[in-house]
Chain A
């Protein structure tokens, strides 16, 4: 248990550090990388709670896909940092008050009185929460699960509708057509009689044709 506590506090400290750096660092790429670190440590904490599916899914989805695309965009953008951060600290009183309020609320609510921590019965060795989650998702929670897929579908459609434009100047090619090209389409063999007269060597026209 002491060992577990030690790991938890280490991970929690890293998580907090990374989280703070995400919002305080000046460089957006650093911020994104710190967010990656935060996700990783959060996954570590989940592993400690024996929620291995969630932990790995967090790494797989957020670190492996979402943040990669995020970094991609952040690196591509030429962001004027100073302009972006103009007046950043002006929001401090407002944001600080709200943050403090929320923290107080959380502490009041979570401090044992209403949500007392219950000890969870330890699971047998062959218990797999991946299989268990899968079973529940496709039986009890079938409707919300399928609805979530519809929501994602709508998000895809919306993204395409709002951004896709048929470009008139695009020079893209159709690979299927390219592959289907036959020799006859591009090459014409002309039967010609052998040339009888020999051109003189000095003839500039003949030279040009040769080259």
Chain B
């Protein structure tokens, strides 16, 4: 009985989120629709409380719980804090959107919190089992959230595609995990790694398992050749949900990639480096080139995500601590950019109107110079124009890859990034040099305007002074992976 007490304290943030999610679910039954803002407040409070517990129980060493299935290391703590921050911002951005579309319901917040719980479990997963369970928890919440606007045929179709392909990906991941378990005899990531050191790593079963694991991960990330769900889901889902799918879950995906590849299968690095290289190069190429042809803003951002995932994989590819740290930096930058990008779409949308086409951005500068400027920073950051955060993020991953000796791949990536800059800058051109199509006033709650401004400002400021964030990423990776 005693051991469980320390286990529970280690998992205090997770427990907070779990209990609050269930509490919100129950409270929603008894609350009047007009008072539902209370639920929103409770969700934000939950994030705050979970962040508080994460900080309070912060411990610069690595701790284990639940028979070593759950790990509490600086990497987990920092990723969780970032996830809380991202989720909180996402809730601020989406409140009005959901209210206007009749989706402002208690279940939305409960589902978001359950998804958050899934991400936290993934981030702290130290066993193949917990990683998989966390992933399923997250995916299940996301599938149903995509279909949340249930009378919308396009959203339903997107949910169906997402569900079927996601289930396939889970199946592949699980199949790969089962082979690795079969060969190493353990589900624990650390034990797998030590077992691998003592055996022949050219074993075909291991390689087959690795292929399936990498394919499953690539599916969840949306890397080429497993990217086909990304555009449809991003476009079909309600923008608020697209914002959720595109942003914080990437932290969790990053975490499980670290746990599985860097911690568990590091002895097989030679093999997975090649697989990641191919996927990274293809993702950057296909993502950037296809994005040029898009007229739908959400779809364009989906392809941009694919190319960003490619860059992220560049960091992983180098398979050393420097590379992982640069990947972590990149993912943080990516999430901030995505939040700002989709936040802008939410800002421009209003009752009965979705600002999801590129044409809707025409002449934004004349309608609202402030909004246009925020979008400008976001687009510059996504394109990697100095001195924004996006530039520095791309710079670090490419540097890491260069040091690991992937010279031609880096050159290719730089060329592709230059091609990709075209479609980001096109958005800027539309905003500043075209005549507006409609002149509706942009109205948004003050808190959303404020947070969005801070978000865009962060893209600029962190680009100028990236050292702190870079240091945090580096320290987290070094302590946790050694």
B182-211 vs A, CB cutoff 8 Å, 1 = contact: the mask equals: 110000000000000000000111001000
B297-309 vs A, CB cutoff 8 Å, 1 = contact: the mask equals: 0000000000000
The CA of A160 and the CA of B25, in the complex, are separated in Å by 12
CB pair A151 B67 closer than 8 Å: no
The CA of A120 and the CA of B134, in the complex, are separated in Å by 33
Known A-B contacts A105-B208, A143-B66, A151-B133; A161 and B148 likewise in contact (beta carbons under 8 Å): yes
On chain A, the residues within 8 Å of B111 by CB distance are 154, 157-158, 161
Query: Is A66 interfacial (CB 8 A cutoff)?
Result: no
Tally A-B pairs: CB < 8 A: 73
Query: Is B325 interfacial (CB 8 A cutoff)?
Result: no
Known A-B contacts A139-B67, A147-B133, A154-B140; A161 and B114 likewise in contact (beta carbons under 8 Å): no
Shortest Cβ distance from residue A166 to the other chain B in the assembled complex, whole angstroms: 12
Q: Contact partner of B18 among A109, A115, A150, A155, CB < 8 A?
A: A150
CB pair B208 A147 closer than 8 Å: no
Shortest Cβ distance from residue B89 to the other chain A in the assembled complex, whole angstroms: 23
A144-189 contacts to B (CB < 8 Å)? 144, 147-148, 150-151, 153-155, 157-158, 160-162
CB pair B70 A143 closer than 8 Å: yes
Query: Is B147 interfacial (CB 8 A cutoff)?
Result: yes
CB pair A150 B205 closer than 8 Å: no
Q: Contact partner of B130 among A109, A114, A143, A155, CB < 8 A?
A: A143
CB pair B69 A155 closer than 8 Å: no
The CA of A141 and the CA of B205, in the complex, are separated in Å by 26
Shortest Cβ distance from residue A186 to the other chain B in the assembled complex, whole angstroms: 31
Shortest Cβ distance from residue B431 to the other chain A in the assembled complex, whole angstroms: 37
Q: Contact partner of A114 among B117, B129, B203, CB < 8 A?
A: B203
The CA of A151 and the CA of B121, in the complex, are separated in Å by 12
Shortest Cβ distance from residue A120 to the other chain B in the assembled complex, whole angstroms: 15
B21-54 contacts to A (CB < 8 Å)? 22, 25
Q: Contact partner of B141 among A108, A139, A154, CB < 8 A?
A: A154
On chain A, the residues within 8 Å of B203 by CB distance are 114
On chain B, the residues within 8 Å of A126 by CB distance are none
B111-155 vs A, CB cutoff 8 Å, 1 = contact: the mask equals: 100100100010000010110011011001101100110100000
Known A-B contacts A150-B114, A157-B111; A162 and B66 likewise in contact (beta carbons under 8 Å): no
CB pair B183 A114 closer than 8 Å: yes
The CA of A155 and the CA of B141, in the complex, are separated in Å by 8
Query: Is A140 interfacial (CB 8 A cutoff)?
Result: yes
The CA of A186 and the CA of B52, in the complex, are separated in Å by 59
On chain A, the residues within 8 Å of B141 by CB distance are 154, 158
Query: Is B107 interfacial (CB 8 A cutoff)?
Result: yes
Known A-B contacts A115-B182, A154-B111; A144 and B148 likewise in contact (beta carbons under 8 Å): no
The CA of A105 and the CA of B110, in the complex, are separated in Å by 43
B140-177 contacts to A (CB < 8 Å)? 140-141, 143-144, 147-148, 150
Shortest Cβ distance from residue A23 to the other chain B in the assembled complex, whole angstroms: 18
The CA of A144 and the CA of B182, in the complex, are separated in Å by 19
CB pair A143 B140 closer than 8 Å: no
CB pair B182 A162 closer than 8 Å: no
For B141, give the chain A residue with the smallest CB separation: A154
Q: Contact partner of A161 among B4, B67, B133, B144, CB < 8 A?
A: B144
On chain A, the residues within 8 Å of B136 by CB distance are 151
On chain B, the residues within 8 Å of A162 by CB distance are 144, 147-148, 150
Q: Which residues of B are at the interface with A, using a C-beta cutoff of 8 A?
A: 4, 18, 22, 25, 66-67, 69-70, 105, 107, 110-111, 114, 117, 121, 127, 129-130, 133-134, 136-137, 140-141, 143-144, 147-148, 150, 179, 182-183, 203-205, 208
Q: Can you give 14 contacting A-B residue pairs, CB < 8 Å?
A: A105-B208, A109-B208, A143-B130, A144-B69, A147-B130, A150-B117, A151-B137, A153-B22, A154-B140, A157-B144, A158-B111, A158-B140, A161-B107, A162-B150
**Which 5 residue pairs of A and B lie closest in terms of their CB atoms, listed nearest first?**
A158-B144, A143-B66, A147-B133, A144-B129, A161-B107
